[in-house]
Amino acid sequence: MPTKAAAHTALLDHLRRTLPGRVIDEVAGVAGPIEDRAPGFRIFRIHPAHPGDWWLYVTSGCWASTQHGGHGTEFFLAAPRDEWVNLESVTMNAYYHCGPVHQRLDVGHTVPIGRPWLDDSDCDHYLVSLPYPLGPEFEVCSWGDGAHARILWLLPITRAEKDFRREGGLEALECLFEEHAIDPVDPARPSVI
């Protein structure tokens, strides 16, 4: 049976391999009840590769708390700048995901943030998505005898986009994102709906 420590080490190695040369800090999640659901929960805070590049926040601990047969999920958030609220966001998402089984998140699910994502953004939900900007190699972190963590993207979206996804489907929403060439880390981006 894979261990939490092995998963944590494998994830860090995976991030170093798929995001070469980037500074990676390991920080605690935001204080609160996350420890009850994901003991030892951590966040890998990944600095931009160059000015104007994205900050990335990757969870470590969701896999250990929810994995089944060595297979589980971690999440990442991309942001235009380093702020405490980004740590809060990924901690909150991890807390939700690591709760009862019916709360497990997967591609296409949406999660209310309960406030604007950043600043006064119209984005107040996350869409759980494939990590398109980082590529398929980034998505799967494997180690040991077949254990793996799938790393999914928390993409900030508006309420209208969330409603459209529910009615029109995930693929239709993703096509609109591509058609409008959205900047996924711009808090001021307009809704595509």
187 in a structural domain: no
pLDDT score, position 2: 66
Decide: residue 104, CB within 10 A, 0-12 exposed, 13-18 middle, 19+ buried. middle
Question: Letter for the amino acid at 145?
Answer: D
Tens digit of each residue's pLDDT, the chain (193 residues): 568 899 999 999 999 999 999 999 999 989 999 999 999 999 999 999 999 999 999 999 999 999 999 999 999 999 999 999 999 999 999 999 999 999 999 999 999 999 999 999 999 999 999 999 999 999 999 998 889 999 999 999 999 999 999 999 999 999 999 999 999 999 999 999 9
Count of structural domains within the chain: 1
186 in a structural domain: no
pLDDT score, position 145: 81
Decide: residue 143, CB within 10 A, 0-12 exposed, 13-18 middle, 19+ buried. middle
151 in a structural domain: yes
191 in a structural domain: no
32 in a structural domain: yes
User: Domain range holding 133?
Assistant: 4-179
Nearest-CA neighbor of 96 among 105, 84, 108, 106?
105
106 in a structural domain: yes
pLDDT score, position 8: 95
Do 143 and 70 meet the contact criterion of CB atoms below 8 Å apart? no
184 in a structural domain: no
Q: Model pTM?
A: 0.96
Rounded-to-integer distance, Cα 185 and Cα 77, Å: 9
pLDDT score, position 130: 97
193 in a structural domain: no
